[in-house]
């Protein structure tokens, strides 16, 4: 940087710069005096003062320029002409809060009312909780206002009357806490085209809104996610201009009125998640503009009218009570792209006439029988095919192998017969293949092992047989493999160890035999070898699966002692050893491991004894060997050797799993990032390296890092974090680049982010220094401590703090994304002050250089957004997903994965019906009061939005933050 400061600019450049600057300056002065008239300039000045006192200190409105028309967030028109006037104000996301100072907020709205030329006012994404009475009663100046956006605020109470804003065309009040019914508030808005009341708490019928036929100009009406009830009135069809009608997620009941469907311009009709009954009106098929229709999660019955999809692109009728056959023309119109009929009572065969535009076809959970049409092979754009849970009883047509864009193929739980066609091996995009619960047989064709994108393969509960080929290692991205309940035989190929993304391996209830080969260390969720014919001793190398949570070896012929190494499985929660021929004394496992040992006659299953038998036996073997050597070397030497070997032996056994080295790591480079002189004088790099070479100083291990406590000569302690370069995809030439990255991170300042103070590089690792403000991780507080349950107010401030930290990181000029965001990487300074840790990982680990899929490099199980398996790209919306999982942990008290089920998926499945949502809250805190419960439900809404399966649908972090603020 400094080098450039010495370069001098040639004179002509300086001169012309000066020249232009002067021109601009003069121009600026002239312009500012020729624009707004004095009244408006005065109002704008006062507005800027008022506004800045209502916003948080971090987002002041910059109004340094004397001409208000040049301020950010202000639009004047006509531009720079003598009669310019303020037409548009955009105060979105400024941190405006009306609760702090109500007289200022009244003043704010009074000032705005004085701008009688205003056409567009955007106040979205703030913390406006009430609008002053005077705004509705006396604001006569805004009759020319065309659009008003108050979405994402905390507006509560009933809606005021908008009669003073007669010119409004667009009114957005979505994502607030508005209550009460709609009566006549909008009646005088004779120009209203777009009204959005989505995501509030409004109740009552919509009789007065849609019944009186008063605002017939409406083009877009969004009432979703409220608690509106009653019938959808007959007169709704008088709204002939409607292009969008969204009534989803309410409690509307009754059947659709006669004549429903006479909307000449309707493009989108959403009725999802209500209690609607009766038939799907056939008249809908006559709307030539209707491209999207969703009526899922209601109680519609009867049959699906023929021709319904004549003009449609997207149809969703899932989870109703529709019966009869699928009309033969339903799936054929050429413009059709996506059809979801899951969860009805449809019967008969799948129509063979299929639109070639289809990319999604979901017919699961019906009573369909017959064959899978071969014509599916013509759908070259098909990405998702789900036919599970029917009574299909054909073979799998080989033509499916022609759908080269297929990423999900789910044919589970049918009556399919025959083998897997080898043509499925052509599906190079396939990520998930679900064939479980059928009558399929034969071996797995080798072509299947060429599916290089495949991440989940479930063949469980069929009659497959044959040996598992060593070609299986071709499934490079495989994460979940389930072959349970088949008749596979032979031994497990040793190439299984090459599946280095595998996190779950289910081989239970087959006829597999032989010894168990080394398994990939990526295994996390479960290794299930139960009910097979495995024999020999349990290999001690299973003890290296340091992230494994469930190990089931039951119902086999394992014999000998239980290896001590299994006690070092740091993540283990369940170990099933029952019904084998194990003997000896069971080693001592940590108290949180549930060890089941019944059905082993010779195993002494004390789980509280000394459990050191294995060690003693090996040690005595060692003594014999050493004694023989000793006979040659003389007694004095024996003593020395024995002493050395013993000390080493016991040391190793103690600390297996935590890497140890006898000598402190050699410092290659050590640098300060902080400029704080207190830290600079306190931190002693070589003392710290001594501390990290002693495993007793380990305070925490996460997926990518180990934390140590290091005491400095002056008595203060620091937290030192070790990053392992070795097996991760660290960019080359790293050392220098790493230093630069850390220095830029060190300049960040947010009280909710763990910012490094210094770092040390060694040959194979990097060590980062932090203030030792470590009370423990959020994980420990939520899931490890049984006595001190965090109350809701702590959990809420933790949620806010983490959201603030993330919003800050995502908002940096160069946004910082988190590779591993989980409750284990959130550190607590106190029970209300969280800090986001491990912020440097995505700079250090380059997922694109990894051989595996991103989902195995990025993050911890349970927090990984589903799209990472497909996209290989770390994104902000991916971080939002992980944050949603953290919110769910705070709300439910449950860990991110339990019994193999991800918390996010569980919560999503549980919460489709709003009346069930309350049941998933942690009863230990939700019982506290009605207020707590309702706040938790609001936060749950936010969490569910964050874990939306579609990354595009997830809110941005700053929206999340504002929604959380408003949940209070
Ligand atoms: C300034 O302009 C506004 C809007 O154009 C107008 O209502 C007002 O009367 C003007 N004031 C003066 C002093 O000209
Ligand atoms: C305010 O805006 C001016 C000119 O638009 C700019 O030079 C100045 O840096 C800004 N100040 C802040 C604090 O952003
Ligand atoms: C209102 O503001 C929100 C948040 O900025 C935005 O998403 C929404 O599209 C706006 N509404 C309208 C009708 O423009
Ligand atoms: C495979 O399918 C079975 C039966 O539906 C299910 O229980 C199991 O969890 C699935 N396995 C995986 C790895 O998803």
The tens digit of pLDDT for each residue in 560-607 reads: 999 999 998 888 889 999 999 999 999 998 877 889 999 998 998 654
When the pLDDT of each residue in the chain is averaged and rounded to a whole number, the result is 83
Q: What angle do CA 801, 966, 799 make, to 5 degrees?
A: 25
| Ligand 1 pocket check for 85: Cβ under 6 Å | yes
Residue 543 pLDDT: 93
Residue 773 pLDDT: 66
Measure 513 CA to ligand 1 centroid, in angstroms.
Answer: 91
Beta strands in 381-510 (DSSP E): 384-386, 391-392, 408-410, 432-434, 441-442, 456-458, 463-467, 480-482, 487-490, 504-506
- Rounded to whole angstroms, the maximal C-alpha distance in the chain is 109
Report the atom number in ligand 3 closest to the C-alpha of 959.
4
| Ligand 2 pocket check for 64: Cβ under 6 Å | yes
Decide: pTM greater than 0.85.
no
Residue 914 pLDDT: 67
Instruction: Spell out the residues 6+ positions from residue 296 whose beta carbon is closer than 8 angstroms to its own.
Output: 272, 273, 316, 317, 318, 319, 320, 340
The token pair at 302 is 């009867």
CA distance 447 to 396: 15
Cis peptide before 450 (omega within 30 of 0): no
The token pair at 351 is 């129509």
Report the atom number in ligand 3 closest to the C-alpha of 196.
13
pLDDT more than 90, % of the chain = 49
Four-residue CA torsion sign, 866, 820, 503, 856: positive
Report the atom number in ligand 1 closest to the C-alpha of 117.
4
Report yes or no: 269 and 311 within 8 Å, Cβ to Cβ: no
Ligand having the closest approach to the CA of 455: 4
Mutation choice for ligand 3 from 169, 172, 192, CB with most ligand atoms inside 8 A: 172
Residue 725 pLDDT: 55
pLDDT more than 70, % of the chain = 84
Mutation choice for ligand 3 from 92, 94, 122, 199, CB with most ligand atoms inside 8 A: 122
Nearest residue by C-alpha to atom 4 in ligand 3? 124
Report yes or no: 530 and 508 within 8 Å, Cβ to Cβ: yes
Report yes or no: 941 and 791 within 8 Å, Cβ to Cβ: no
pLDDT category of residue 789 using cuts at 50, 70 and 90: confident
Residue 628 pLDDT: 36
Mutation choice for ligand 4 from 432, 436, 502, CB with most ligand atoms inside 8 A: 436
Measure 255 CA to ligand 3 centroid, in angstroms.
Answer: 32
Mutation choice for ligand 2 from 21, 32, 62, CB with most ligand atoms inside 8 A: 62
pLDDT category of residue 899 using cuts at 50, 70 and 90: confident
Ligand having the closest approach to the CA of 74: 2
pLDDT tens by residue, 232-245 = 988 888 899 999 99
Residue of 297, 261, 251, 253 whose CA lies nearest to 278? 253
Alpha helices in 695-777, H assignment, sequence order: 734-746
Measure 62 CA to ligand 2 centroid, in angstroms.
Answer: 6
Residue 10 pLDDT: 37
CA distance 204 to 159: 13
pLDDT category of residue 546 using cuts at 50, 70 and 90: confident
Nearest residue by C-alpha to atom 10 in ligand 2? 62
Q: Which DSSP state fits 755?
A: -
Residue 625 pLDDT: 38
Q: Is the pLDDT of residue 419 over 50?
A: yes
Report the atom number in ligand 2 closest to the C-alpha of 70.
5
Report yes or no: 248 and 294 within 8 Å, Cβ to Cβ: yes
* Residue in the block written with tokens 């707004």: 36
Measure 74 CA to ligand 2 centroid, in angstroms.
Answer: 15
| Ligand 1 pocket check for 87: Cβ under 6 Å | no
Report the atom number in ligand 3 closest to the C-alpha of 152.
4
Report the atom number in ligand 3 closest to the C-alpha of 149.
1
Measure 61 CA to ligand 2 centroid, in angstroms.
Answer: 10
The token pair at 797 is 């401030």
Does 655 participate in catalysis according to the annotation?
no
pLDDT category of residue 223 using cuts at 50, 70 and 90: very high
Ligand having the closest approach to the CA of 121: 3
Instruction: Give the bridge partners for 74, in sequence order.
Output: 89
pLDDT tens by residue, 642-670 = 333 333 332 222 233 334 445 777 887 88
Ligand having the closest approach to the CA of 117: 1
Ligand having the closest approach to the CA of 118: 1
Report the atom number in ligand 4 closest to the C-alpha of 482.
13
Q: What angle do CA 691, 693, 699 make, to 5 degrees?
A: 65
Measure 120 CA to ligand 1 centroid, in angstroms.
Answer: 18
Pocket of ligand 4 (CB under 6 A): 412, 436-437, 456, 458, 460, 480, 482, 504, 506
Measure 368 CA to ligand 3 centroid, in angstroms.
Answer: 43
Ligand having the closest approach to the CA of 458: 4
Residue 549 pLDDT: 85
C-alpha distances out from residue 968 to 819, 924, 933, Å: 30, 19, 11
Mutation choice for ligand 1 from 35, 38, 40, CB with most ligand atoms inside 8 A: 40
Residue 858 pLDDT: 65
Residue 949 pLDDT: 84
Residue 923 pLDDT: 85
CATH numbers and ranges of domains, the chain: 7-147 (3.80.10), 159-300 (3.80.10.10), 326-451 (3.80.10.10), 470-484+492-615 (3.80.10.10), 620-657 (no CATH), 664-772 (3.30.200.20), 779-968 (1.10.510.10)
**Active-site entry in 413, 552, 820, 838:** 820
Looking at residues 187-216, what average pLDDT do you find? 86
Looking at residues 505-520, what average pLDDT do you find? 96
Nearest residue by C-alpha to atom 10 in ligand 3? 149
Measure 507 CA to ligand 3 centroid, in angstroms.
Answer: 51
Q: Is the pLDDT of residue 26 over 60?
A: no
Residue of 214, 232, 302, 304 whose CA lies nearest to 269? 232
The token pair at 854 is 């991103």
Report the atom number in ligand 4 closest to the C-alpha of 504.
13
Residue 643 pLDDT: 36
Measure 48 CA to ligand 2 centroid, in angstroms.
Answer: 14
CA distance 723 to 766: 5
Burial 834-865 (b: 16+ CB within 10 A, else e): bbbbbbbbbbbbbbeebebbbbbbbbbbbbbb
Tell me what percent of the chain is helix, strand and coil, each rounded to the nearest 5.
30, 20, 50
Q: Is the pLDDT of residue 36 over 50?
A: yes
């Amino acid at each position: 940087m400094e080098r450039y400061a010495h370069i001098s600019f040639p004179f002509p450049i300086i001169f012309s710069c000066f020249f232009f600057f002067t021109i601009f300056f003069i121009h600026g002065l002239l312009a500012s005096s020729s624009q707004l008239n004095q009244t408006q300039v005065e109002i704008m000045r006062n507005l800027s003062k008022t506004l800045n006192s209502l916003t948080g200190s971090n987002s002041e409105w910059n109004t340094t320029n004397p001409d208000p028309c040049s301020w950010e967030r202000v639009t004047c028109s006509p531009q720079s002409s003598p009669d310019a006037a303020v037409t548009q104000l955009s105060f979105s996301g400024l941190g405006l809060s009306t609760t702090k100072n109500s007289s200022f907020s009244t003043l704010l709205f009074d000032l705005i009312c004085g701008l009688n030329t205003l056409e567009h006012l955007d106040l979205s994404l703030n913390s406006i909780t009430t609008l002053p009475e005077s705004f509705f009663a006396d604001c006569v100046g805004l009759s020319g206002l065309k659009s008003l956006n108050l979405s994402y605020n905390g507006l509560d109470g009933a809606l005021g009357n908008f009669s003073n804003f007669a010119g409004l065309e667009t009114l957005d009040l979505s994502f607030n806490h508005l209550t009460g019914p709609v009566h006549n508030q909008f009646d005088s808005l004779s120009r209203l085209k777009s009204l959005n009341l989505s995501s509030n708490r409004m109740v009552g019928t919509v009789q007065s809104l849609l019944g009186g036929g008063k605002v017939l100009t409406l083009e877009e009406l969004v009432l979703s996610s409220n608690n509106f009830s009653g019938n959808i009135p007959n007169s709704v069809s008088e709204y002939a201009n409607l292009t969008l009608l969204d009534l989803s997620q309410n409690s509307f009941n009754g059947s659709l009125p006669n004549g429903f469907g006479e909307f000449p311009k309707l493009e989108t009709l959403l009725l999802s998640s209500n209690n609607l009954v009766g038939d799907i009106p056939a008249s809908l098929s006559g709307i030539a503009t209707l491209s999207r229709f969703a009526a899922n999660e209601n109680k519609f019955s009867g049959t699906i009218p023929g021709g319904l999809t004549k003009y449609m692109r997207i149809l969703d009728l899932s989870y109703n009570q529709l019966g009869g056959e699928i009309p033969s023309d339903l799936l054929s119109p050429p413009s059709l792209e996506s059809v979801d009929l899951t969860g009805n009572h449809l019967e008969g065969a799948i129509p063979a006439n299929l639109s070639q535009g289809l990319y999604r076809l979901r017919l699961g959970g019906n009573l369909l029988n017959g064959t899978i049409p071969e014509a599916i092979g013509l759908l070259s754009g098909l990405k998702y095919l789900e036919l599970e849970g029917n009574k299909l009883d054909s073979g799998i047509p080989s033509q499916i192998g022609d759908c080269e864009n297929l990423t999900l193929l789910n044919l589970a739980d049918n009556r399919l017969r025959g083998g897997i066609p080898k043509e499925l091996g052509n599906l190079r995009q396939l990520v998930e293949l679900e064939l479980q619960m059928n009558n399929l047989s034969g071996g797995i064709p080798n072509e299947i092992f060429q599916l290089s994108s495949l991440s989940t393969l479930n063949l469980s509960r069929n009659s497959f047989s044959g040996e598992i080929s060593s070609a299986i290692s071709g499934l490079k991205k495989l994460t979940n493999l389930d072959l349970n309940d088949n008749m596979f035989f032979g031994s497990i190929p040793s190439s299984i160890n090459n599946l280095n993304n595998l996190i779950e391996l289910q081989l239970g209830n087959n006829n597999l035999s032989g010894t168990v080969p080394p398994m990939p260390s990526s295994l996390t969720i479960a290794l299930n070898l139960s009910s097979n014919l495995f024999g020999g001793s349990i290999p001690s190398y299973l003890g290296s699966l340091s992230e494994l949570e469930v190990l089931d070896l039951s119902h086999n012929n394992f014999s000998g002692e239980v290896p001590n190494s299994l006690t070092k499985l740091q993540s283990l929660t369940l170990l099933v050893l029952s019904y084998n021929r194990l003997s000896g004394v069971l080693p001592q496992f940590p108290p949180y491991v549930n060890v089941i040992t019944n059905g082993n006659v010779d195993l002494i299953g004390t789980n509280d004894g000394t459990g050191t038998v294995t060690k003693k036996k090996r040690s005595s073997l060692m003594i014999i060997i050493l004694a023989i050597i000793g006979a040659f070397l003389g007694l004095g030497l024996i003593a020395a050797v024995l002493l050395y070997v013993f000390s080493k032996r016991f040391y190793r056994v103690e600390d297996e799993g935590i890497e140890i080295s006898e000598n402190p790591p050699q410092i290659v480079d050590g640098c300060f990032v902080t400029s704080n002189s207190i830290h600079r004088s306190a931190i002693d790099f070589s003392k710290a390296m001594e501390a990290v070479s002693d495993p007793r100083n380990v305070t925490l291990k996460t997926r990518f890092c180990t934390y140590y406590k290091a005491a400095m000569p002056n008595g203060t302690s620091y937290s030192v974090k070790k990053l392992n370069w070795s097996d991760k995809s660290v960019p080359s030439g790293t050392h220098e680049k790493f230093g630069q990255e850390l220095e830029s991170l060190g300049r960040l300042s947010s009280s909710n982010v763990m910012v490094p103070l210094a770092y040390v590089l060694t040959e194979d690792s990097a060590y980062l220094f932090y203030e030792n403000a470590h009370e423990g991780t959020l994980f420990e507080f939520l899931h490890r401590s049984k006595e001190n349950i965090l109350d809701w107010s702590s959990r809420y401030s933790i949620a806010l703090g983490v959201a603030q930290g993330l919003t800050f990181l995502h908002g940096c000029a160069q946004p910082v994304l988190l590779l591993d965001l989980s409750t284990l990487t959130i550190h607590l300074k106190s029970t209300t002050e969280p800090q986001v840790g491990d912020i440097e990982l995505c700079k250090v680990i380059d997922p694109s250089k990894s051989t595996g899929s991103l989902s195995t490099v990025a993050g911890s199980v349970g927090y990984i957004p589903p799209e990472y398996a497909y996209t290989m790209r770390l994104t902000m919306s991916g971080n939002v997903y992980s944050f949603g999982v953290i919110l769910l942990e705070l709300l439910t008290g449950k860990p991110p994965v339990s019994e193999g089920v991800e918390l996010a998926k569980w919560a999503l499945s549980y919460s489709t019906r709003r009346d069930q949502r309350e049941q998933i809250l942690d009863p230990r805190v939700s019982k506290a009061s009605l207020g707590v419960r309702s706040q938790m439900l609001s936060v749950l809404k936010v969490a569910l939005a964050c874990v939306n399966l579609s990354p595009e649908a997830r809110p941005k972090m700053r929206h999340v933050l504002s929604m959380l603020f408003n949940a209070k």
